[in-house]
Structure 1
Amino acid sequence: MDEVLWATARASGVVALVLLTLSVVLGILTRGGRPMIGLPRFAVAHLHRDASLLATAFLTLHVVALLGDSYAGLRLVDLMVPFLAARDALWQGLGTTALDLLLAVIVTALLRRRLPAAVFRTVHLAVLPLWGIALLHALGSGTDAGTLWFRVLAAASAAIVLAATLWRLLAPSFRTHPAARARRTPERSLR
């Protein structure tokens, strides 16, 4: 049974990382201020939400499988308090930190309509460090971290997030004040 749990944890961890990368990139592109070729902004926003939900589901599967695996030796406290794990405390702690940040993002997303926009945006920006911490966790504690295919996947993920971040930072609307963007005509803002 432990082999099944270990394989499930490995596979779900990799899938969660890929989906989290996709979610981060789509989130960056959604807020990029420029229309994307072939997709309206609302479609990108829906894809972002769906990728986020799937990433959360696979991360949950990853955590549950590791909790059930006696070899992993995780305790419930290891999931909430970083760097307490008996084995690989640093790498497990990074995973716990990413999980804690994700929980904060999920809670604020669920309460989005009841929170000030600035609070939601500030907490939501934690997704970038969350993603980086999750990548470090995967590279440090993942069983497949030393394999070529995983290193290529990690490098591609990093390159894609970096490219999307640069694209966002170079967008003309990023350099304008939010009030100026809000005064745009409805016709221009729908692009």
Structure 2
Amino acid sequence: MMEWITTWPVWELTRIFGIAAYLTIFAGLTLGMLYSFPFVKGKRKAQVYRWHTYLTNGGTAVALAHAAILIISTYVSYRWVDLLIPFASKQYPIGNGIGILALYGMLLLLITSDYRNKISRHVWLTIHLLAYPIFVGAAVHGYMVGTSSGNPLAKLMYGGTLLTVVVLFAVRASMRQNSNSNTKLKPVRPSINR
């Protein structure tokens, strides 16, 4: 059985899983941001939330497979310590360490989302906002360690996804700021007692 497993194209599989995880998590993050936009209402809002959940859960599962399959790699030898302890890897310790932290961050997001009703909204939201630096960490990991990073399409993918997240974040922040300033500046009509 082990001989058959070691004949798998492990390096190609881990590259495919890494890119698939990154793009799936990007799609989930994007839908999570769009969920709060005012044009997403009713049934569409429920669908956006459902797909946000599917994609972030699926992306995290694929990211776990991306890391775990490296244990059987004959191209570059990884130990469990290299895959579980940030910055312990002999190959690309910084890039791999950032990737491990991003994966742990995704697991934290998923676990706290499962217990969302049991923890305070403030705590959940604070943890959930870590999705942004976690995504940046995943991009940095992919760019630093990914063997396809020199490819112009890979550079376009990382640049385009990061730019999309930054733009959506800025639009969302602007909408919230406008919403908060509109509620503060609303004129109060005096009541007339007769």
Name the TM tier (shorter chain).
0.7 to 0.9
Partner SS for 1:87: coil
Query: 2:10 matched to which residue of 1?
Result: 5
Contact 1:2–1:70 (Cα < 8 Å) also in 2: no
Report how far residue 71 of structure 1 moved. Answer: 2.9
Q: Distance in 2 between matches of 1:6 and 1:65?
A: 9
Report how far residue 88 of structure 1 moved. Answer: 0.8
Report how far residue 37 of structure 1 moved. Answer: 8.9
Q: Distance in 1 between matches of 2:7 and 2:179?
A: 52
Amino acid across the alignment from 1:46:
R
Alignment partner of 1:40 is 2:44: yes
Q: 2:157 aligns with which of 126, 143, 153?
A: 153
1:68-118 alpha-carbon deviations (Å, 9 max, x no partner): 213332222233321110111111111111112112112111211211111
Query: 1:124 matched to which residue of 2?
Result: 128
Query: 2:138 matched to which residue of 1?
Result: 134
Contact 1:25–1:161 (Cα < 8 Å) also in 2: yes
Structure number with greater CO (CA < 8 Å, separation at least 6) is 1
RMSD of the alignment, in Å?
2.2
**1:14–1:21 distance in 2 versus 1, CA, 3 Å:** same
| TM-score under structure 2 length normalisation | 0.83
Partner SS for 1:73: coil
Q: 2:116 aligns with which of 109, 112, 115?
A: 112
Contact 2:14–2:67 (Cα < 8 Å) also in 1: yes
Deviation >4 Å, runs of 4+: 172-175
User: Which structure is larger by alpha-carbon Rg, 1 or 2?
Assistant: 2
Q: 1:22 aligns with which of 27, 30, 35?
A: 27
Report how far residue 18 of structure 1 moved. Answer: 0.6
Structure 1 unmatched runs, 5+: 181-191
Amino acid across the alignment from 1:11:
I
Structure 2 unmatched runs, 5+: 1-5, 184-194
Alignment partner of 1:69 is 2:82: no
**1:39–1:144 distance in 2 versus 1, CA, 3 Å:** farther
| TM-score under structure 1 length normalisation | 0.84
Q: Distance in 2 between matches of 1:37 and 1:103?
A: 28
Partner SS for 1:40: helix
Query: 2:54 matched to which residue of 1?
Result: 50
Paired residues, what number?
A: 177
1:118-147 alpha-carbon deviations (Å, 9 max, x no partner): 111111111100000000000000010111
Identity within the alignment, % = 23
Alignment partner of 1:83 is 2:87: yes
